[in-house]
Structure 1
Amino acid sequence: MTGYTKEKRDLIGTRPFILVGATIIVKNERNEILFQHRSDTFEWGLPGGAMEPGESLVETAERELYEETGLKAKSFKFVDVLSGKDLYFKYPNGDEVYNVICVYIAENINGELAINDDESIELKYFPINELPSKLDERARIVLEKYFL
């Protein structure tokens, strides 16, 4: 956790707050979807993260995609904004959030897969019909709504 989110956590502790961010769907040439094995929950999730002050949501998607995967996209296709009680999340350390997630599909990807932060253990593409067994609930919601 860095920047804005950390500042807010320092003020409110673990109490729930609304966290706005971007989730990015990355597909390879075989139409497989990229997942990150998260270091905090040990679940497989989609790349993405929280918006920083002054960023647009597309800028958030660009930054998070690079930080978490080492990849860059020439463009991002907007899919939807998801929110509500189903996107409540409690982190292992007790921090609680209600996510507002802008979902994007990354287009024209370039770069090499690389973990550039401490949020991932592994990055891996999975076919949509062979998703990892320990899937992050927020990722499951996104995939069920648009791909399953």
Structure 2
Amino acid sequence: MARRDHEGDPDAPTANSLVPAASVVVVDGAGRVLLQRRADNGVWALPGGAMNLGESLPDCARRETREETGYDVELTGIVGTYTDPGHVFAYDDGEVRQEFSVCFLARPVGGRIAVSDESTDVRWFAPAEVDDLPMVPSIRRRITDWRGGTGPALR
């Protein structure tokens, strides 16, 4: 199912759902960040997704990272919270989701790189390499917030 991101777009469709979600900045011992190329919109992104009933948000972050990248992670902090009502995701099935996401910081503790049905490519990147990758502004903002290292961002 295709997804279109609308951020600060006055012509964006009106949200009809609000779903808690997690994203994860996974950093290895060399300081590289783990990214996946999303199958639904073709751009690079952090691993992450919607929380399931019966799971905690940290469990969601670990599960989504494992499903989308093949890595098990240990959560080590919070990059920030992202709840901008002007940022919505429009899906082909008619759902228009307002963003509500907590972005965690993590390190890999097991597993190995693998693509999934949600990703077409998974790679480690040096922070400077990320600047030229195609990605939506909200993901770039999370990476910028992590690189800034000033503590959790509240957006």
Task: Report the TM-score when normalising by structure 2.
Answer: 0.76
Aligned residue in 2 for 1:125: 124
Instruction: Find the aligned partners of 1:86 and 1:28 in 2 and give their Cα distance.
Output: 33
Instruction: Find the aligned partners of 2:91 and 2:24 in 1 and give their Cα distance.
Output: 20
Instruction: Find the aligned partners of 1:39 and 1:95 in 2 and give their Cα distance.
Output: 18
Q: Is the contact made by 2:75 and 2:104 (CA closer than 8 Å) also made in structure 1?
A: no
Offset of 1:38 from its aligned partner?
A: 0.6
Aligned residue in 1 for 2:109: 109
Offset of 1:92 from its aligned partner?
A: 6.1
Aligned residue in 1 for 2:151: none
Instruction: Find the aligned partners of 2:40 and 2:93 in 1 and give their Cα distance.
Output: 9
Instruction: Find the aligned partners of 1:71 and 1:133 in 2 and give their Cα distance.
Output: 22
Instruction: Find the aligned partners of 1:38 and 1:46 in 2 and give their Cα distance.
Output: 9
- Aligned sequence identity (%): 29
Instruction: Find the aligned partners of 1:136 and 1:91 in 2 and give their Cα distance.
Output: 15
Gaps of 5+ in 1: 2-13
Moved beyond 6 Å, runs of 4+: none
Aligned residue in 2 for 1:32: 32
Cα RMSD between the aligned structures? 2.2
Gaps of 5+ in 2: 2-13, 149-155
The reply to whether residue 145 of structure 1 matches residue 149 of structure 2 is no
Look up the equivalent residue of 1:26 and give its one-letter code: V
Instruction: Find the aligned partners of 1:53 and 1:72 in 2 and give their Cα distance.
Output: 21
Offset of 1:84 from its aligned partner?
A: 1.2
Q: Is the contact made by 1:87 and 1:98 (CA closer than 8 Å) also made in structure 2?
A: yes
Higher helix proportion, which one?
A: 1
